[in-house]
Structure 1
């Protein structure tokens, strides 16, 4: 079971489906999702080794052949809903599970209703490494992680979610009815876990209507120290395939994030090679040192105020020369004049009538 496998889901699915799974069930579903390949035409029966399945669920060897079938049987009963316009879809996660005695394997297959949200996704999808969720302890942490991950690059720098809507997404409508408990046991617990384990963290601000907290504003940060660093390599590549091989241990996560930032702010798609170049230049800049994605986001936002003919060349120049926060408002002409130089001691004496 490869922790570096990527889980891919459509943003629409993440933000418009409501389900209640135990932590173990979520790990099964997300591990299964990480086995779906980008070029798959249909869902396949995806195989788990029983030993890996046991490790995933924390089941000991004595009970593996009795407990695992119970877990998958319960999972098949978990029907959930997806709101698709004026259509309500009710579906289970799995269409079937198969055990072969003596094989040491179990096969699981996704419901075909999930195909539009997990296969052949052209745009507006979220992708992350399976390792980000496997060590989580709270059942709400993987779900909140996904919700924040798909909103990581909002132009305004945050995503605001109504408390009732968040409860609905988490299937926590009647869990911790007091907001103080909901905050303490779900929001803050998840905040601690994401900061410690995953590639993102968050701060939050409570929005009140009167005295009641009605919305939460999440400020999403990148946890660069939780991912491998990109090695320093040459910036000359023949094509995207070569770029992927010459940059040792290059995180595909970084490439996707940079491409998403540029597409979101600049309405332009860039190649993997260009994303790598942007990252390497941002790493060398002293501004936002240690957080190159923040620098790239800031410059991308500034680009929306400029008339740019060659975005790639302009962006590389900005990444090299950027020294201080950019002015987002154009300076008016009357502010461009340089003031006169005065001898202020002499001027003060004359104003006071002293010779």
Structure 2
């Protein structure tokens, strides 16, 4: 436990630079890809072909993701495998406007990746080299701890975008305190990767204009099947509201927002951003670390009987009270008859504290046995992804 706290202390002091051009580029990528970029910036070099190469050792990955599970290496190997179905690190792409000719160019961020002998090596597109290393201006300093703490890719993107905008505005105006930033709704979805060009020449042509018609882009995106979060109420509930909550709980930013309306139609988002004082940031980080430590202890205790998402459910139900969960788990293991539905048993035990009265009989609710069947040896790619990103 002491070593874990020291590891977290080390991470909390680390920062990295990221070009504002990269931060504000349109494109789609996973939260894990961006987290690996942040970790990799701690140990990079430029090779003979002018590619930036990041080397990340397995021990460093374990510390950063607070993982002692052997499945971490298995997951990293899958991440580097182009044949794996689902998101890999090669799917991180950016759309950037060339400053000289105004044309939109697509860039695959990671061109090569390998995980051998416990070491992850990432090679970045050499067209992005000057936007990754030797940054002298137009960059933002980001907190490695803040980046690693965020679960949602939308939270992570908003953290970068709003931190960049805030720092730039503060540098220009020499002002402190709350600042306001506005985005067109479609513009925001483009930057979050919810909408992309989708190979549409018409969308790219519109984006290349000095003043793009975002209503037109929205129509074109719908024609290409990009209708995710089209309705504002769904976008607000599933993206903005969750990102705000996560940013305010886990990072140095304090964020609020409101819709910009034209009649009944929401046309944009207005963000209000300020930075927490150092004491508040430290307190926020401490709470997050304590929850992560408790969750890790619970995984060690119960991983033979419960899936990761079930352990997380139990932790949240018990408000991360380790003793209450352990007593419930011990009570279940010493129960006089077989427990057919362990997750239901544990939840009821936590709520009613049956372990304090050994004469109480637990009566589980009926459940579909198919839904409670667990194939122990199956490789669950999604579970591993969530384990890495939920820290």
TM-score (norm 2): 0.51
1:170 is the counterpart of 2:192: yes
Q: Which residue of 1 aligns with 2:145?
A: 131
SS across alignment from 2:258: strand
Distance 2:65 2:109 in 1: 18
Aligned counterpart for 1:93 among listed residues 109, 114, 123: 109
Q: Deviations over 1:288-345 (max 9, x none)?
A: xxxxxxxxxxxxxxxxxxxxxxxxxxxxxxxxxxxxxxxxxxxxxxxxxxxxxxxxxx
Aligned counterpart for 2:54 among listed residues 32, 35, 46: 46
C-alpha displacement of 1:22:
2.2
1:152 is the counterpart of 2:174: no
Matches within 5 A, 1:188-199: 188-199=241-252
- The answer to whether the 8 A contact 2:183-2:268 is kept is yes
SS across alignment from 1:220: strand
Q: Deviations over 1:229-251 (max 9, x none)?
A: 9xxxxxxxxxxxxxxxxxxxxxx
Distance 1:110 1:143, change over 3 A: same
Q: Which residue of 2 aligns with 1:21?
A: 29
Q: Deviations over 1:256-306 (max 9, x none)?
A: xxxxxxxxxxxxxxxxxxxxxxxxxxxxxxxxxxxxxxxxxxxxxxxxxxx
1:81 is the counterpart of 2:107: no
**Larger helix proportion of the pair:** 2
SS across alignment from 1:145: helix
Aligned counterpart for 1:9 among listed residues 12, 18, 21: 18
Aligned counterpart for 1:187 among listed residues 240, 264, 267: 240
Distance 1:69 1:121, change over 3 A: same
SS across alignment from 2:111: strand
Which segment is superposed worse, 68-77 or 133-142? 68-77
SS across alignment from 1:177: coil
1:219 is the counterpart of 2:219: no
- The answer to whether the 8 A contact 2:28-2:93 is kept is no
Matches within 5 A, 1:1-355: 3=11, 4-15=13-24, 17-36=25-44, 44-54=52-62, 61-73=69-81, 74-85=88-99, 86-101=102-117, 104-153=118-167, 154=169, 155=173, 157-173=179-195, 174-224=227-277, 225-227=279-281
Distance 2:52 2:280 in 1: 32
Q: Which residue of 1 aligns with 2:315?
A: none
C-alpha displacement of 1:100:
3.2
- Unmatched tracts of structure 1, length 5 or more: 230-355
SS across alignment from 1:119: coil
Distance 2:158 2:42 in 1: 18
Distance 2:139 2:93 in 1: 23
C-alpha displacement of 1:148:
0.3
C-alpha displacement of 1:95:
2.8
C-alpha displacement of 1:116:
2.3
Distance 2:105 2:93 in 1: 10
SS across alignment from 2:41: helix
Larger radius of gyration: 1
Distance 2:116 2:21 in 1: 36
Distance 1:223 1:37 in 2: 34
Q: Which residue of 2 aligns with 1:284?
A: none
SS across alignment from 1:152: helix
Distance 1:97 1:37, change over 3 A: closer
Distance 2:89 2:55 in 1: 16
- The answer to whether the 8 A contact 1:197-1:226 is kept is no
- The answer to whether the 8 A contact 2:96-2:106 is kept is yes
Distance 1:117 1:197 in 2: 27
Which segment is superposed worse, 175-184 or 90-99? 90-99
C-alpha displacement of 1:175:
2.4
- The answer to whether the 8 A contact 1:7-1:128 is kept is yes
Distance 1:49 1:146 in 2: 25
- The answer to whether the 8 A contact 1:27-1:134 is kept is yes
Distance 1:191 1:205, change over 3 A: same
